């Protein structure tokens, strides 16, 4: 059985990808289990992953290169690295910029150097739609619409992480693939992401925080579509950047209204000052992903919300002590 390395294995997307790939690969998972958001959710994911037969876990901080030595022979003979480990969140990046540099740029740099030393053939580094900024009525296109001045510290650290990996591994010996994700949601999602927070707050009768007027539009993308895209990249033998997102945008107010109807409960909304450099709309151009990978999103927003709400209710007791607000929001 071939081995594959996944960083951020206990993260939202990493958890779902590991659960899928362990049927075909021996998955070597790395995660620092840091407190970028409440680690209780990461621990819950890890508890489930440890039940899998073809999964081996290492608690490692990739921003410390020497920690990779802990893995000894486990990372030998790995052809593919999927680097999902990162620190996400635009607002929080202005409060802890040094941590974002460590986790998004330094960690990516260290992993790229080690991958080069070990002869890794394919390096997939996950990135973000935040790099495109506000797309307006235009669709963000790979290799065309990246901003020289990224719209946030978070976006800047992710973009520079991409740049470092491409510079370190830019030879014919390596395939470098960069999937850019657009507002991912679903079961086991991050508690600082809008949809899961909205579900929790409305279901529990807590105040719903909205930064701005709620008319910001996002390409909400269900996690199984993202994982499907990543699995297609594993089989694709060319370098490139690929957008993975929904082909439709919804405003935050639209999403809250849908959740209200599904939960049959009214949201108590507190509209707060809009976040610094927040964007109005982000819409992906999916032509490249469709033509090169045969990938299109399959789960529409209503179906995705239903699946997420069902999961939330099932795990409600385990989620009872998970923090859905940052300290600065209290």
With CA atoms as reference, report the closest residue to 68 among 79, 81, 55.
Answer: 81
- For residues 312 and 17, give the distance between their C-alpha atoms in angstroms, rounded to a whole number: 19
Alpha carbon distance 323, 103 (integer Å): 21
Q: In the structure encoding, which two tokens stand for residue 287, read together?
A: 């032509």
Q: Which residues contact 74 (CB under 8 A, 6 or more apart)?
A: 28, 56, 58
The answer to whether 154 is a known catalytic residue is yes
Q: Is the dihedral of CA 56, 62, 66, 67 positive or negative?
A: negative
Q: Are β-strands 184-185 and 127-128 bridged in parallel, bridged antiparallel, or unpaired?
A: unpaired
Q: Is 109 helix (H, G, I), strand (E, B) or coil?
A: helix
Q: Which of 37, 100, 154, 236 is catalytic?
A: 154
Q: What's the CA gap between 127 and 88, in Å, rounded?
A: 10
The span from the CA of 275 to the CA of 173, in Å, is: 43
Residue 95: CB partners within 8 Å, gap ≥ 6?
328
Residues 31/14, Cβ–Cβ less than 8 Å: yes
Spell out a b/e string for 214-249, using b for 16 or more CB atoms within 10 Å of the CB, else e.
Answer: bebbbbbbbbbbbbbbbbbbbebeebbbbbbbbbeb
Structure tokens at 273: 């000052």
Q: How many angstroms separate the Cα of 294 from the Cα of each of 73, 85, 123, 226, 233? A: 36, 26, 20, 13, 10
Catalytic residues: 154
């Amino acid at each position: 059985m071939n081995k594959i390395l996944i960083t951020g294995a206990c993260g939202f997307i990493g958890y779902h990808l590991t659960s899928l790939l362990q049927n075909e690969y021996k998955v070597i998972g790395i995660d620092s289990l840091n407190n970028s958001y409440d680690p209780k959710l990461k621990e819950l994911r890890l508890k489930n992953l440890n039940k899998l037969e073809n999964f081996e876990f290492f608690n490692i901080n990739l921003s410390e290169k020497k920690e990779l030595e802990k893995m000894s022979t486990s990372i030998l003979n790995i052809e593919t690295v999927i680097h999902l480990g990162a620190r996400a969140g635009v607002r929080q990046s202005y409060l802890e910029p040094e941590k974002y540099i460590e986790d998004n740029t330094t960690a990516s740099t260290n992993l790229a150097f080690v991958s080069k030393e070990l002869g890794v053939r394919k390096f997939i580094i996950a990135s973000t739609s935040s790099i495109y900024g506000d797309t307006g009525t235009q669709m963000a296109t790979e290799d065309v619409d990246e901003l020289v001045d990224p719209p946030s510290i978070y976006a800047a650290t992710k973009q520079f992480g991409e740049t470092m990996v491409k510079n370190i591994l830019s030879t014919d010996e390596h395939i470098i693939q960069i999937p850019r994700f657009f507002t991912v949601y679903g079961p086991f999602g991050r508690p600082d992401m809008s949809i899961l927070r909205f579900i929790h707050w409305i279901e529990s009768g807590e105040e719903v925080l909205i930064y701005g007027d709620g008319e910001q539009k996002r390409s909400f993308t269900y996690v199984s579509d993202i994982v499907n895209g990543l699995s297609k990249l594993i089989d694709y033998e060319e370098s490139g950047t690929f957008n993975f997102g929904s082909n439709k945008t919804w405003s935050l107010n639209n999403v809250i209204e849908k959740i209200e109807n599904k939960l049959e409960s009214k949201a108590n909304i507190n509209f707060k000052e809009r976040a610094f450099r927040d964007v109005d709309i982000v819409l992906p151009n999916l032509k490249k992903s469709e033509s090169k990978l045969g990938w299109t999103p399959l789960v529409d927003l209503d179906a995705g919300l239903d699946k997420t709400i069902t999961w939330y209710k099932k795990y409600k007791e385990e989620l009872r002590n998970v923090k859905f607000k940052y300290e600065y929001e209290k």
